[in-house]
Chain A
Amino acid sequence: MSTGRHHHKVRDSVAAALDGLDSGMTVMVGGFGLCGNAEALIAGVIARGARDLTLVSNNAGAMGKGLATWLRAGIVRKVICSYLGSNEDLHTRMAAGTLEVEVTPQGTLAERMRAAGAGIPAFYTPTGVGTVVEEGKEVKVIDGRRYLLERALPADFALVRARKADRFGNLRFFRTARNFSPVMATAARTTVVEADELVEVGAIDPDDVHLPGLYVHRVVHVPAHEDPIEFRTVRPRPAADGAAGGVA
């Protein structure tokens, strides 16, 4: 009997988990800024020596950390993102012309991934109509409203972080660390998960699975992370039995 893609997914090292991630490929990396980054896999790609990558990420790093390390290592040819913000590594390389940057509305970026993962080659959206985003795109009027045709965005690899994975690759995420990771996993030919916690099959209740394991091909257990905070905003704690606040 032959072995399917969902046979043995757990890898014992980051290097093994990144097998086949080669120069010239399109790689999606989950995270909203530095929140929810697959830190060990990001470092592992540099160690592997892959170059000329097309990186798909909402922000492509920040504060010199996360995916900014790829920019500094010079292994990225093109970035597809929605927001550069204060990512100086991205700004300087874009200004110098050493890096091609495609800026896309964030919802269009997510939907292009969703389409790729759902077998939809392109879709119409009103986002970007009448703006620079419209340039070079087909415009269609449907029921009197203008829409842009946006194409699906697939990838060779998706590198994502999960709070918990079982050995089949069923995933759970924590709070807003989920962001682009599940939809990237659907859009990539090979999805590699860096899991904070690895559990046996059956340990996650079927109703509690955030991303079914069929979208996941490899899992590596990485218990420790830096998890930097970009903007630490807090309130002073009230003296005693204080007012009700939000819960973390």
Chain B
Amino acid sequence: MSFSKQDMARRAAAEIPAGSIVNLGIGLPTLCADYLPEGHAFLHSENGLLGMGPFPFEGDEHPQLINAGKQTVTVLPGGSTFDSAASFAMIRGGHVDLAILGAMQVSAAGDLANWAVPGGKVMGIGGAMDLATGCRRVIAIMQHATREGEHKLVARCTYPLTATAVVARVITELGVFDPVGDGFRVVELAPGVERAQVAALTGAPLL
């Protein structure tokens, strides 16, 4: 047993305090929105939207209302739109309380690698470095290891870094872990997951 993707998203959503400003990264983090009670938090999208709502009903989609993943979205009552400089000033100025981001590697020191695979196609940086550096708290949500069993929670990142010492908590299919410098502190294990199993799939000590 382990967490499903939906379980991971639900567990990450539980980290979102009521009344907070949250940026959800592209991909799995976006699922967290499905587990937030209505009005619980304000979702920020770095292309210039605060108060982002769910996907529109069929036929209501508008090409000029999208999220940072370029998906059609909606804006909730109380929402606002603004330009990119203002949007990133919000992020860089520490006004966004929490970022939940996907990750390729997280180190025991909280370093984050989530924008490029060595030797792979360069997709670009986008808002990743700004979000990781500027948001007040950063949570990574990711698979615990690659399909080939390579560690993704590591002693030191080998992939190109996004930011150093920024990740406060990691949520994987195996549980919840905090990078604390010399290893990962086990906050909780997914149902049926054994500590030894996690240790074998983690590239740094479990504490």
Contact = CB atoms under 8 A, between A and B. Distances in A.
Interface of A: 32-36, 58, 62, 81-85, 91, 94, 103-111, 113-114, 125-133, 173-183, 227-238, 242, 245-248
B134 interface: yes
Contact of A227 (B48, B64, B163): B64
B127 A248 contact: no
Interface stretch (B12-20, B51-59, B168-176, B180-188): B51-59
B123 A85 contact: yes
Interface string B55-69: 111111111111111
Interface in B147-185: 160-164
A232 B81 CA distance: 20
Contacts of A125: 92
Contact of A245 (B71, B74, B111): B74
Interface SS of chain A: helix, strand, loop or mixed?
A: loop
B97 interface: no
- SS of B interface (majority): loop
Contacts of B45: 176
B125 A133 contact: yes
B88 interface: yes
Interface of B: 45-49, 52-77, 81-85, 87-89, 91-92, 111, 121-130, 133-134, 160-164
Contacts of A108: 129-130
A83 B68 CA distance: 11
A81 B67 CA distance: 18
Contact of B124 (A35, A82, A231, A232): A82
Nearest to B68: A32
A35 B59 CA distance: 18
B125 A231 contact: no
A113 to B, nearest CB: 7
Contacts of B57: 234-238, 242, 245
A191 to B, nearest CB: 14
Which are the 10 A-B pairs with shortest beta-carbon distances?
Answer: A246-B74, A246-B53, A107-B88, A107-B130, A83-B124, A177-B64, A227-B63, A83-B126, A130-B164, A233-B71
Contacts of A174: 64
Given A114-B85, A176-B65, A32 B70 contact: yes
A109 B84 CA distance: 9
Contacts of B49: 175-176
A147 to B, nearest CB: 10
